[in-house]
Structure 1
Amino acid sequence: MASVMENFTNRSIDIASLPQFEEVSFEPISKAYLIKASLQNLVFFCLAVIGWVVLFYFEIIQFQLNILLIGIVLYFGFKFWNIFQLQKNYGFVLRQKDILYRRGYLVNKTTVVPFNRIQHASISRDVLDKMLKISSLKIFTAGGSGSDIIIPGLAPDLALRLKEALAAKLTANEF
């Protein structure tokens, strides 16, 4: 045991020599995801307007109805604007030793997952995804309670190729 400890070194790493993920060009997700998110938002907007019409029918105080309508329009206007801004920044890239996923516009978030941390990957498609011909790739890592990365808005064939590439990398890392 003493001989193992004598040979132990823990040298510092030059931070400037680390690879920069900001220099990578990210692949955008499909514009069909923008349509999906907008449709989902539109459904909730219609439900809010129907609720407002019901309140109008029951003759709630006009001033309160006007304030509520302004609130609904502002809230959903922001939600639509948010969807368009987010679409510009979604991106992913598969590198030699990891996968990167970027999202956000006010607060940009980039997740880097090394292949040796990935447990498995799955593809999911809901009804709207099938109609719009898109998929979501879910990547699960060791120690996580759910999927750690969900990349939405991928073409089904691209999602399948990414999943197979991840599986190949995982198989290569096992031996």
Structure 2
Amino acid sequence: MENFTNSILLPEKLPEIDAKTFNPLDKKYLKLTFIRMAVFFVVLVGGFISFIFISEGNIPKTPLIIISSVLAVLLIFSIVYTFLSFPRKGYLVREKDISFQRGLITYKLTTVPFNRIQHVEVNQGVLAKLFALSSLKLFTAGGNASDLSIHGLPRDVALNLKAFLSEKISEHE
């Protein structure tokens, strides 16, 4: 029978993940995000304006001013948040895992070990196709949703990562 060991690992002895080593997302993804945001707000404002016309001006001015102000603040907050949070997004591929970091107000780091990945997908939406960008989605055991999604990758990078990860998956089978 083998000798079982379960040594104590002190937090200061654990390897660190340096935020500077993460690969940034393609800058075209920021433009794509702003285009999506603009489409959303155009539809939202268009619906608001349609509601005003349908009501034939029977809405008091105070609610109109409040709703307009809320929409303006929402738009400004979305633009500022997206712009400031974009540089904090990135991915990192190491020997045994892949990580993705994001967040401005709250920070989130997701790491998936290669031996847990069961399926890898590369997706490309209509707008992303115009910018030659793709999303890489990693699935682990259980559930229908991806466990890690990295949006804003150049198409060739996403395909190379998929091929690399697929090779790593086959090593662990």
TM-score by length of 1: 0.89
Aligned-residue offset at 1:24: 5.6
Q: Contact 1:52–1:65 (CA<8 Å) still a contact in 2?
A: no
Whole-Å Cα distance in 2 between the matches of residues 7 and 49 of structure 1?
Answer: 68
For residue 33 of structure 1, what is the aligned residue in structure 2?
29
Q: Name the SS for the 1:21 alignment partner.
A: coil
- Cα drift, residue 21 of structure 1: 1.3
Local SS of the residue matching 1:19:
coil
Residue 158 of structure 2: aligned partner: 159
The count of corresponding residues between Structure 1 and Structure 2 is: 170
Letter matched to residue 44 of structure 1: F
CA deviations over 1:25-44 (Å, ceiling 9, x no partner): 00001111111211111112
Task: State the match for 1:147 in structure 2.
Answer: 146
Counterparts of 1:166 and 1:25, CA distance in 2:
19
Letter in 2 for 1:53: I
1:17 and 2:1 correspond = no
**SS state at 1:138 partner:** strand
Matches within 5 A, 1:120-131: 120-131=119-130
Q: Which amino acid counterpart does residue 111 of structure 1 have in structure 2?
A: T
Is contact 1:119-1:141 (8 Å) kept?
yes
Deviation at 1:142, TM superposition (A): 2.1
**Structure 1 counterpart of 2:92:** 93
1:51 to 42, 47, 54: 47
Looking at structure 2, the residues matched to 75 and 51 of structure 1 have their Cα atoms a distance apart, in angstroms, of 16
CA pair 23-155 structure 1, distance change in 2 beyond 3 A:
closer
Mean Cα deviation higher: 56-65 or 161-170:
56-65
Q: Please give the root-mean-square deviation of Cα atoms over the aligned residues, in Å.
A: 1.8
CA offset at residue 93 of structure 1? 0.9
Q: Percent identity?
A: 38
Shift, 1:144, TM fit:
4.0
The residue identity in structure 2 corresponding to 1:40 is R
* 1:115 and 2:114 matched: yes
- Describe the superposition over 1:138-160 as per-residue Cα deviations: whole angstroms up to 9, x where unpaired: 01112343211100000000000
> Which secondary structure state, in structure 2, belongs to the residue aligned with residue 123 of structure 1?
strand
* Structure 2 length-normalised TM: 0.90
8 Å contact 1:29–1:154 — kept in the other structure? yes
- Indicate if the aligned counterparts of 1:125 and 1:134 stay in contact, CA closer than 8 A: yes
Flag structure 2 segments of 5+ consecutive residues without an equivalent: none
Structure 1 unaligned runs (5+)?
none
